[in-house]
Amino acid sequence: MGDSNLQEDTMNKGMIAALGCLAIIVIAVVILGASAMGTYNGFVKEKQNVESQWSQVGNAYQRRADLIPNLVATVKGYASHESQTLEAVTASRAQVGSINVTKDTLNNPAEFQKYQQAQAGLTSALSRLMVVVERYPDLKANQNFLELQSQLEGTENRISVERKRFIDAVQTYNTKVNQFPGNLFARIFGFKEKAYFQGAAGSEKAPVVDFTK
């Protein structure tokens, strides 16, 4: 009788210990799962923010591209012999338009760099056009040109703002992807670093678009 009670007591203690271990494992799994879910949702949120800001950058650049045909046509009306400069602007705009840009471009540093270089080329061509405009007072006084100037100034400022917001969003996302322990979950869930603008010194400021001087 005594041996039977001892065996039963031992079995009960073993069962309690096993249940205790199981409970610890279940709790650990729940905590790990909750942590993984929270980290995953955080990645998703930051990724969507990056893509949203990328879209805003694209909208600002597209607005600039849309202004260029009218700008070139207006300048040409007063300075048709400045064909080389006008053609450079038109060609740079076409180069930008030839690049198929999507949110997937953020996962391709080479394509992103190509896009950035094309936009920089267009900015440079517009800067040269500004120099040409200085030679034509009548052009600078043209009402249509003044309206285009105002719109272009606003667009360049918007590009600067949206680029800055995009860079901030990407840096936040990339930091989460690389920091421990988030980097472990990033590998599991397939979240990778995003490309972003590498601006030259002073590029955080919008180019001065002033034809009135």
**Residue 34: pLDDT above 80?**
no
Residue 190 backbone class (left: φ over 0; alpha: ψ -120 to 50; beta: rest): left
pLDDT at 35: 67
Residues 158-179 pLDDT 10s: 999 999 999 999 999 999 999 8
For the chain, how many residues are written? 213
Contact residues for 163 (Cβ-Cβ < 8 A; gap 6+): 57, 197, 199, 204
Distance CA 132, CA 25 (A): 74
pLDDT, greater one: 117 or 202: 117
Work out the pLDDT band at 86, boundaries 50, 70, 90: very high
pLDDT at 54: 93
Residues 6-20 pLDDT 10s: 666 666 666 777 777
Residue 113, both tokens:
């760099």
Which domains, and CATH codes, for the chain?
2-189 (1.20.1440.20)
Distance CA 141, CA 1 (A): 113
Tell me the helices (H) and strands (E) count for the chain, helix number first.
6, 0
**Residue 189: pLDDT above 90?**
no
